[in-house]
Structure 1
Amino acid sequence: MTISSAMLNQLPLSEIDAVAFYKRDEITTDLICCNVEIQGCVWTFHEEADGWQALVAHLSALPEFRSDWYEAVVGPPFATSETIAFKRR
């Protein structure tokens, strides 16, 4: 999967309802994932996708986006550690 600028254009900040980060147990490692909810549809991304940093930068521009999401998700190992980084009020 590649997270392109065209894909990011389909995630306008004004339409994002929620952003959640979590880990998936991949047996020997954890994979950090992100769900972006827009109008009841959920887009799922993961940290190994090309463009992950661009996605995180894009989402970071949301008002009141939780900038400490990474620290909240990474520990403890192999626990889901779901963290809501943004929820529209």
Structure 2
Amino acid sequence: MTNNLAILGQLPLSEIDAVIFYKRDEITTDLICCAVAIQGRLWTFHEEAAEWQALTAHLSALPGFRNDWYEAVVNPPFATNETIAFERR
């Protein structure tokens, strides 16, 4: 992933079915991840990617997006804490 616009262009808000944030236990730290479902395809991202800030800003424009996803995911530490931030119904 090297181009924010190219990646975000492949994630049109009108086609996103679900956005799920979760953590992976990396032994001494947690890695926050995001799964974006679009038409049966799953895109995965993590907080260490250069595009992370642009991605989360883009996704936050979804109607009814759960803006408190971060707080729900980070505590308690070393638990998956899967959190659905958006789901199209």
TM-score (norm 1): 0.97
Root mean square deviation of aligned Cα:
0.9
Match in the other structure for 1:27: 27
Question: Residues 14-44 of structure 1, C-alpha deviation per residue, up to 9 Å, x if partnerless?
Answer: 0000000000000000000000000010000
In the alignment, does 2:66 pair up with 1:66?
yes
Following superposition of structure 1 onto structure 2, how do residues 1-89 of structure 1 map, counting pairs within 5 Å? 1-2=1-2, 4-89=4-89
Decide whether the 8 Å contact of 1:23 with 1:74 is kept in 2: yes
Instruction: In structure 1, give the amino acid aligned to 2:74.
Output: V
Flag structure 2 segments of 5+ consecutive residues without an equivalent.
none
Moved over 2 A (4+): none
How many aligned residue pairs are there? Answer: 89
Flag structure 1 segments of 5+ consecutive residues without an equivalent.
none
Instruction: In structure 2, give the amino acid aligned to 1:74.
Output: V
Identity of aligned residues (%): 80
TM-score (norm 2): 0.97
